[in-house]
Structure 1
Amino acid sequence: MKVLDLDAVRAFVLVADLCSFTRAADALGTTQSAVSLKLKRLEAHLGKQLLERTPRVVRLSVDGKAFLGAARELLGAHERALGSLSVERRRLALGLSEHVAGPDLPQLLARLNAHDPALVVELHLGTSAALLAQFDERRLDAVIVRYGADEPPRDDAQVLFSEPVCWLATPAWLPRVGEPLPLALLSAPCNVRDVALRTLTEASVAWQEVFVGGGVAAVGAAVAAGLAVSPLARRVAPRGLVDVGARLGLPSLPESRVTLHSRVKDGRLRETLRLVTSGLAGG
């Protein structure tokens, strides 16, 4: 009877979920070459090619697709077996900025559950400032927030990646002639809002708020409805919106940085956090 290496199976599931050896390695806290070696040994053990590798794309083979469901069940059974011996379930209180989470959040949560079914995730969405305040009050174990280009991260921040903020609207959207630029924005305080308004004012572009949302989902809905243009990162915007900045002659917005603040010490929870950050970086 063939006995499977659970670490190799976990690496396979992460590569399949994240479509990347590099991001899977980050989630596991190891190197890309180590993940590749685990996968090669797993394929050799099974006598099947699970992945189709090209310089730019990693795809599941036919056998890989067939194996993925069983691999998830195996890992889930392993976690349930371990959980049956534990009285207390693990818990992670995580804060995620509205300007970092996006429409792929359900898929990311599904990956977390498949990775560690015994984990209770307490997820808080909000503004970066509010989440950092809760983190400092020790109400959250970790927070992932966004800093503006002119806002230096705190000393305890781990910079995950940088990305641009764009002027997003529906493809055919145009402002009314002779009227100030209509904007859909998050309510204050919001760093993205502040940077966008300052950039427009410095470029002498007249603007007016036509929609103020208490969350990015509300702002994205207003933009998708054709009410206005909004400064958003592509990751958080509804699908179908496009960058209209160049077409409308709007000033470019500076890149912002996404950072992690964490006091998590437990090895298993740190592994879960790495899966979250890797998933967001690839989103």
Structure 2
Amino acid sequence: MTTLDVDTVKTFVTIADLKSFTRAAETLGTTQGAISVKLKRLESQLGHRLIERTPRRVRLSAEGAAFLAPAQELLGAHDRAVAALSPVRPRRFSLGIATHVGGAEVPILLARLHAHDPALTIEVRLEDSRDLLDAFDRGEIDAAIIRREDDRRDGEMLATDHYGWFATPDFVHRAGEPLRLAASSPSCGVLNIATRALAAASIPWTETFLGCGSFAVADAVAAGLATSVFSRRLAPAGTIEVSGRLGLPALPPSEIMLLSALSDAKSRAVLKTIVGAFREHHRMPANRAAEEIHTVTEVVGS
């Protein structure tokens, strides 16, 4: 009877989840060489090739696809067995992600965190940067990914974001009339940037739509009710950048920051996973990002 090594099974599941030897090695805190050795050991034990690897992609073989679900169940049973006799309470990690920051990388980020520690309970909070900053300062969340507010200099920079004015192609703004704006809340930092830019350009504006959350604002803009400012990564479907057509001022770039006061080794490993996933997604080509999002959706939905 074949006895499986939990570590090699975890290596296989991590590769299968991330579709990458490089990212699996980063997640598990080891090298690609060690990952390959463990996978070959498992394949030798089972007598089947589980992963098919080419220079362009990593995918499951037919045997690997059949083995994946039982392997995940094995790891889950192992974690539950260890936790049952452990005096340590299950770990929880609360992460705030600003609505003007989080986009397509969020499901990828969550998948990476789960692969890093399947027993970790992840609590995600989506709010404006200012609200998350206040929650972080009150100790309500462990970490926050936000747009840099004011002159606050703490935290680790993850990426630079660029903003624009977006509206539907048929949105009309008549000269002399106030520009119709949509915003999620009066305290929204992105709205403050927009209104300061309009004031400097002597362009009058009016708040046409005040919604609860950025999704409501996106719906209002997509419906043609108003214009608003969005990260160029997160503009609503069916909208276009209209600053040139409407004579609107350029907007300054914004830094995306990770805030955390956690210092223990396990938490630092979680934060390293967050930083790696976020930075990698922001520098990857759009077509590769779309492929990875599709892959993560398949894994999460399976």
Contact 2:90 2:119 in 1 (8 A): yes
2:18 to 7, 15, 24: 15
* Aligned equivalent of 2:52: 50
1:37 to 33, 39, 52: 33
1-structure distance, mates of 2:184, 2:147: 14
1-structure distance, mates of 2:112, 2:208: 37
- The Cα of 1:259 is off from its aligned counterpart by 0.9
1:62-81 map, 5 Å: 62=61, 69-81=69-81
* Residue deviations 1:17-54 (CA, integer Å, cap 9, x gap): xx6936x5665556xxx2x3244335544345434433
Q: Structure 1 segments of 4 or more deviating over 6 A?
A: none
Gaps of 5+ in 1: none
* Aligned equivalent of 1:83: 83
Residues 247/265 of structure 1: CA separation in 2 closer, same or farther (3 Å cut): same
2-structure distance, mates of 1:79, 1:248: 57
State the TM-score, normalized to the length of structure 1. Answer: 0.76
Give the count of matched residue pairs.
269
Q: Bigger shift: 181-190 or 233-242? A: 233-242
Contact 2:108 2:277 in 1 (8 A): no
Residues 9/193 of structure 1: CA separation in 2 closer, same or farther (3 Å cut): same
* Aligned equivalent of 2:291: none
The two structures, once aligned, show a CA RMSD in angstroms of 3.3
2-structure distance, mates of 1:218, 1:180: 21
Contact 1:28 1:275 in 2 (8 A): no
1:142-161 map, 5 Å: 142-147=143-148, 151-155=150-154, 157-161=155-159
State the TM-score, normalized to the length of structure 2. Answer: 0.72
2-structure distance, mates of 1:215, 1:268: 33
Q: Does residue 262 of structure 1 match 2:264?
A: no
1-structure distance, mates of 2:235, 2:129: 17
2-structure distance, mates of 1:12, 1:198: 47
- The Cα of 1:70 is off from its aligned counterpart by 5.0
* Aligned equivalent of 2:294: none
Residues 107/158 of structure 1: CA separation in 2 closer, same or farther (3 Å cut): closer
* Aligned equivalent of 2:292: none
Residues 67/227 of structure 1: CA separation in 2 closer, same or farther (3 Å cut): farther
* Aligned equivalent of 1:174: 171
**Percent of pairs identical after alignment?**
38
- The Cα of 1:104 is off from its aligned counterpart by 6.1
- The Cα of 1:96 is off from its aligned counterpart by 2.1
Greater RCO, CA 8 A, separation 6+: 1
Q: Does residue 162 of structure 1 match 2:160?
A: yes
From the CA coordinates, give the structure whose radius of gyration is larger: 2
1-structure distance, mates of 2:34, 2:69: 19
* Aligned equivalent of 1:222: 220
SS at match of 2:94: strand
The AA in structure 1 aligned to 2:196 is R
Contact 1:8 1:42 in 2 (8 A): yes
Residues 39/118 of structure 1: CA separation in 2 closer, same or farther (3 Å cut): closer
